[in-house]
Amino acid sequence: MRTEIRIRNCREDDLADLIRIWRQVDLTLGISDTIPELKRMLALNPDTCLVLEHNGRVVAGVMGGFDGRRGLVHHLSVAPEFQRCGYGRALMEELETRFRGMYVVKYSLWIEPRNQSVIDFYNHIGYELRDLITFSKTLRQ
């Protein structure tokens, strides 16, 4: 059987699949990771929220955001049984191509300290580890 891989824009009907994958890979999920909140993300960023299909099944995704000058990568994730197949790299390359087309100056992503295993992945595909301190403020519970 021939394997068919396709990267496409995320649709609302993909969101449950993405949340399932996020849970499988143990991402920390919060109030902004619910279907209603993710629909808002899709509405604002229809061309930078992507999924990867393997033989018609969503097995990976990334949520890219753009504020008018910089991009932000949220929740790159690949289902465990498809990790180390190049799918994460393929999604990041496609997202970067789209960001370039939007004249994004630069883009960033955050990794939780407990998720050290992905640092080598990002180093390998050309990302630079920055020594920054992040502040945040929760507006809704």
Predicted confidence (pLDDT) at residue 106 exceeds the cutoff of 80: yes
User: Dihedral angle at the C-alpha atoms of 122, 65, 7, 21, nearest 10 degrees?
Assistant: 70
With cut-offs at 50, 70 and 90, classify the pLDDT of residue 135: confident
Predicted confidence (pLDDT) at residue 49 exceeds the cutoff of 90: yes
What does the pLDDT look like over 24-47, one tens digit per residue? 999 999 999 999 999 999 999 999
| Contacts of residue 112, Cβ cutoff 8 Å, sequence gap at least 6 | 28
Inter-residue contact 12 to 39 (CB < 8 Å): yes
Predicted confidence (pLDDT) at residue 1 exceeds the cutoff of 80: no
The pTM score is 0.91
What percent of the chain has pLDDT above 70? 100
pLDDT at 2: 85
What does the pLDDT look like over 58-75, one tens digit per residue? 999 999 999 999 999 999
- Tell me what the pLDDT averaged over the chain comes to: 94
pLDDT at 87: 98
With cut-offs at 50, 70 and 90, classify the pLDDT of residue 89: very high
The domain 5-124 is classified under which CATH number: 3.40.50.300, 1.10.3720.10, 3.40.50.720, 3.40.630.30?
3.40.630.30
Extents of the domains making up the chain: 5-124
Which token pair is 88? 């994460």
Whole-number Å distance between alpha carbons of 119 and 131 = 13
Q: Give the number of other Cβ atoms within 10 Å of residue 70's Cβ.
A: 13
